Structures are given as C-alpha cells and as structure tokens.
Structure 1
Amino acid sequence: MLMSNTDRPARLHYMANGFRVLSPGDHVVCAVSGERLALEDLRYWSVAAQQPYATAEIATAAMSPGR
C-alpha cells in the first residue's frame, strides 16, 4: 500500500543553499510561530539551528544575538 505525504510533516536537513528531505511530507512547522509551511513555500531556515522559519522577520529575530 502506498503512503500519502499529504498532511504529514517532512523532516529536513537544512543546508546553505537548500535542504534535503530526510522523511517525506508536505510541510514543516515554523520553529518560532508554529505556523505550518508548505515545502514549496519554505524560504527561511537556520543551518546552525536546523530550524525553519515562516518569514524573514521571524528568521532575523530568531538568529539575532542576545535572543
């Protein structure tokens, strides 16, 4: 039986210029806001923290010193 990736979170390895899918799925969850992000809409992540972010503003705040 084939499994569908619909409504299943993906597990990713974040790299400087992209990401590699470790476990298939159709979305990830923003590490700060908890917002669900479709993989095709994912634009911001931290390579060091291995976390996805929903927006540039959230990513900038999350990676700012002193946070």
Structure 2
Amino acid sequence: MLIASRNRLARLQYGPNGFRTLSPGDHVLCAVSGAPIGLDELRYWSVARQEPYASAAIATRAMLDAVPGA
C-alpha cells in the first residue's frame, strides 16, 4: 500500500550533500519566509541549523544574519 504524500509537509534531516526523509511529504516550509518549497525544488538549506530556504538570496541573508557583526 502506498502512502499519499500530496499536499503534506515533509520532515527532513539536512546533510552536506542532500537530505533524508524522516516523515514523507511533498514539501517543506522556508525557515525565513514560510513559503512552501517542493522537495523537487529544494536546493538551499543549513546543515547546522537544519533549516530549508526558498532561494539562494534568502539562504545567504539567513547565514549573514547568523554571523555577529555582519
């Protein structure tokens, strides 16, 4: 029996070269904007903070904001 994962939030573990599905789903939410990101479109995340980002610009801003004095 297949489990439907459409319109369902996935739970992922982010690694340096990819991610592992902990709970099946078809999308995650951007940690900054809250925008849904389809798993097939997910390209940016932080391994240290275990957060997904919707774009390179958002990921860069989040990383700069985490650096004191940046």
Identity across aligned pairs (percent)?
A: 61
CA distance in 2, matches of 1:3, 1:15: 25
Offset at 1:3?
A: 3.5
Offset at 1:2?
A: 4.9
Instruction: Name the aligned partner's letter for residue 55 of structure 2.
Output: T
User: What are the residue-to-residue correspondences of 1:53-64 with 2, within 5 Å?
Assistant: 53-64=53-64
- Give ranges in structure 1 of 5+ residues lacking alignment: none
Aligned residue-pair number: 67
User: Which residue of structure 2 aligns with residue 7 of structure 1?
Assistant: 7
Offset at 1:62?
A: 0.3
Instruction: Name the aligned partner's letter for residue 54 of structure 2.
Output: A
CA distance in 1, matches of 2:39, 2:2: 21
**TM-score normalised by L of structure 1:** 0.93
- Give ranges in structure 2 of 5+ residues lacking alignment: none
* CA RMSD between the two structures: 1.4
